[in-house]
């Protein structure tokens, strides 16, 4: 996790890596990636959708990545391909200093238990702590100040940024990216009440993350009560997300920031939850459901589609009048029905 200046690529190299059609000088040296507006002559830019076309003619970029249909409007060298947004994603990884090769070093201040199983070229940062029985796969990077609890397993090429906490008994697949402040495997929220006070239900399950999972900063995924909390492959989780015990999330689903999912709810594959969405506990959400931002879901959803709740913001003075009417809504509905009954059809 150093921060080197990328040495860059020739435009021809980039064309080969992206399988793109090169039009222009292939020897051009490209040192970075930028927007059409900001790009310098040693950078490459891209046109991912039509709304940016107006900036194409004035770009100072050395080259532009775009769909062939926009080629004629491009004033500089270009790489043509069918899906420029996807190509931008791949290109961005080439220029990411964080994703550059790990150094394969274990910092002398890291505290690594004797029996930890370390794959090849594992990097462990300063002041990280790896407890007994943990296993780190090949080329795993554990950032400064991270904690990996007893017996937890982290798959090959996974990256824990600084100050990540992985509790005991957690299993993480390959190529995971866990951002700073995230906590995997803290106790779920389980208590039994004896009529006067709470008794803790020890959380004996673990957490299982599939391959290619990303977890944002300050997000938490709680361990299961008895069975595991399970996150599928290629699930992408943004920052400040809370996933309670025994939740299960299907492959390829994406959760935006501040989402909260209560205990034992199952989310299908290829679902998208907008920012701040809340799912109540013990629900089943089928595959292909998209819930828009800040919606509250209290019932299971059995049909793919887009779902919403709440009301959009309006001027406060107007809102106050309407919000107070909301409390009269059932009464209004009954009065409306009575009126209909006693009003002759026009």
Please give the positions annotated as active site: 245
Closest C-alpha to 249, from 276, 275, 218, 222 = 222
97 lies in the binding site for a copy of itself (CB under 8 A): yes
98 lies in the binding site for a copy of itself (CB under 8 A): yes
Return d(Cα 67, Cα 49) in angstroms, integer: 9
CB of 215 to a copy of itself, least distance (A): 10
CB of 316 to a copy of itself, least distance (A): 4
Among 13-21, 28-36, 65-73, 116-124, the segment contacting a copy of itself (CB under 8 A): 28-36
Q: Which residue number, 120 or 200, has a Cβ lying nearer to a copy of itself?
A: 200
Copy the structure tokens of residue 75. Answer: 């004033």
Using CB under 8 A, pick the residue from 207, 222, 231, 232 that binds a copy of itself: 222
60 lies in the binding site for a copy of itself (CB under 8 A): no
229 lies in the binding site for a copy of itself (CB under 8 A): no
List all residues 6 or more positions away from 97 whose beta carbon is below 8 Å from its beta carbon. 2, 3, 4, 5, 6
In the block, tokens 């004896």 appear at: 194
Q: Which residue number, 27 or 299, has a Cβ lying nearer to a copy of itself?
A: 299
Using CB under 8 A, pick the residue from 7, 58, 72, 344 that binds a copy of itself: 344
Please state, in angstroms and as integers, the Cα–Cα distance from residue 261 to each residue in 2, 182, 264, following that order: 35, 16, 9
305 lies in the binding site for a copy of itself (CB under 8 A): yes
202 lies in the binding site for a copy of itself (CB under 8 A): yes
Pairing of strands 77-80, 21-23: antiparallel
163: Cα separation from own chain's centroid = 18
Query: Binding mask 136-175 vs a copy of itself (x if CB under 8 A, - otherwise)?
Result: -------xxx-x-xxx---------xxx-x-xxx------
216 lies in the binding site for a copy of itself (CB under 8 A): yes
234 lies in the binding site for a copy of itself (CB under 8 A): yes
List all residues 6 or more positions away from 292 whose beta carbon is below 8 Å from its beta carbon. 274, 277, 306, 307, 308
CB of 255 to a copy of itself, least distance (A): 9
118 lies in the binding site for a copy of itself (CB under 8 A): no
**Beta bridge partner(s), residue 23:** 78
CA atoms within 13 A of residue 77's CA, in its CB half-sphere = 23
Return d(Cα 329, Cα 146) in angstroms, integer: 52
């Amino acid at each position: 996790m150093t921060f080197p200046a990328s040495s860059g690529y020739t435009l021809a190299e980039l064309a080969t890596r992206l399988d793109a059609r090169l039009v222009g000088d292939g020897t051009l040296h490209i040192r970075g990636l930028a927007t059409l507006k900001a790009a310098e002559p040693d950078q490459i830019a891209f046109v991912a959708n039509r709304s940016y076309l107006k900036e194409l003619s004035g770009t100072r970029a050395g080259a532009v990545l775009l769909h062939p249909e926009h080629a004629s409007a491009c004033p500089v060298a270009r790489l043509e391909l069918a899906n420029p947004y996807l190509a931008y994603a791949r290109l961005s990884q080439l220029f990411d200093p964080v994703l550059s090769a790990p150094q394969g070093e274990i910092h002398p201040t890291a505290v690594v238990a004797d029996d930890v199983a370390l794959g090849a070229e594992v990097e462990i940062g300063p002041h990280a702590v790896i407890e007994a029985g943990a296993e780190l796969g090949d080329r795993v990077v554990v950032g400064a100040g991270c904690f990996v609890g007893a017996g937890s397993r982290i798959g090959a090429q996974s990256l824990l940024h600084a100050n990540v906490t992985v509790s005991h008994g957690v299993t993480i697949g390959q190529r995971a990216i866990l951002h700073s402040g995230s906590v995997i495997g803290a106790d779920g929220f389980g208590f039994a009440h004896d009529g006067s006070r709470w008794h803790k239900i020890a959380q004996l399950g673990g957490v299982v993350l599939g391959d290619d999972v990303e977890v944002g900063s300050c997000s938490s995924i709680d361990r299961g009560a008895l069975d595991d909390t399970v996150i599928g492959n290629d699930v992408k989780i943004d920052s400040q997300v809370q996933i309670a015990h025994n939740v299960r999330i299907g492959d390829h689903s994406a959760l935006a920031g501040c989402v909260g999912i209560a205990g034992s709810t199952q989310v299908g594959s290829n679902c998208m939850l907008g920012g701040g969405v809340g799912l109540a506990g013990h629900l089943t959400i089928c595959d292909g459901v998209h819930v828009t931002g800040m919606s509250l879901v209290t019932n299971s959803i059995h049909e793919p589609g887009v779902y919403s709740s709440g009301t959009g913001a309006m001027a406060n003075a107007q809102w106050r009048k309407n919000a107070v009417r909301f409390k009269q809504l059932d009464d209004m509905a009954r009065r409306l029905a009575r009126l209909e009954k006693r009003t002759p059809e026009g």
